[in-house]
Amino acid sequence: MKNMQRRRFIQTMATAAAVTTAGPMALAAESGKAHDQANRFKISLNAFSFNVPLMNRKTTLDEVMDFCAREGFDAIDITGYYMPGYPEVPSDEYIFHLKNKAHRLGLGISGTGIRNEFADPDPAKRKAEIVFVKKWIDVAEKLGAPVIRIFSGKTLPAGYARKEVETWIVQAIQECTVYARSKGVILAMQNHNDFIKTAEQAISILDQVNSEWFGLVLDTGSFVTEEPYSEISKTTSYAVNWQIKEKLNYQGKIQDMDLTRLCRIIQASSYRGYLPIETLSPGDPFVIVPPFLAMVKNALSQTS
């Protein structure tokens, strides 16, 4: 019951919705009311969709934000990789520029994200990664991002038992979560086909950290070892943000995401918040993203 209440609270914080703290029946009633709200989901763009042109300096975050406003996105996930000087934190002047621009364009900021490594066997390196994450939590606070996306670890290091490495990861995340809470930012771990490959592995870490300020960025394209839609369904109650992807890569097979099936899972969940989309197809994202946005909107409409 404790974990159930915690997960419900996370979902509430992620959407700034008021949810009663009464018993399960009252919570269920609130969830039922939310299902009647046609506009409960807001679509965001994960800036990683523009990874190639952003990294090649063929475009800028400013231009991507203009694109989002023009195409009818509700928000943008301003991934940290594309800020000047990353992995060092950008200047306050730059952070506040992005925040000001988003407001003037009518865009929310659904989150930000960084790369980190908590599965390194060297305790000193893990400590440095904790310091790194804390610095970027400060950036998220200044940016006004409700969620900052992190990873668990790249892989299971050779010669170490999974349980031991998981303990390192949990301890590091717990320390970062305490700091995130002090800044009013939700720390969110992405399942990324790395150290975490299955719903069970993600849930193990989430339950051990056991904080209302820690949740899951539910990456719909990265459960690749088990049947993916079932894996997604198992983890929806932990979601504080999402990544809606075009493709599934399941046991070596690449196939289009069944957006209708996915949106039924989302609609049936208690999640109420931003749904960032992320396109990874080769080509010009200025051309690729708009049709996918339309497909996601249509699937949400058809399943509401």
- Calculate ∠ Cα 28-205-132, nearest 5°: 115
What domains sit in the chain, N to C, each tagged with a CATH number? 2-6+40-303 (3.20.20.150)
Cα–Cα distance for residue pair 177/186, rounded to 1 Å: 8
DSSP for 219-265, written as a single string: ETT---SS-HHHHHHHHGGGEEEEEEESEEEETTEEEE--HHHHHHH
Nearest alpha carbon to residue 69 among 118, 113, 103, 110: 103
Per-residue pLDDT tens, the chain, 304 aa: give them. Answer: 445 445 544 444 444 433 333 333 333 334 444 444 444 799 999 999 999 999 999 999 999 999 999 999 999 999 999 999 999 999 999 999 999 999 999 999 999 999 999 999 999 999 999 999 999 999 999 999 999 999 999 999 999 999 999 999 999 999 999 999 999 999 999 999 999 999 999 999 999 999 999 999 999 999 999 999 999 999 999 999 999 999 998 888 899 999 999 999 999 999 999 999 999 999 999 999 999 999 999 999 999 9
pTM of the predicted structure, to 2 decimals:
0.87
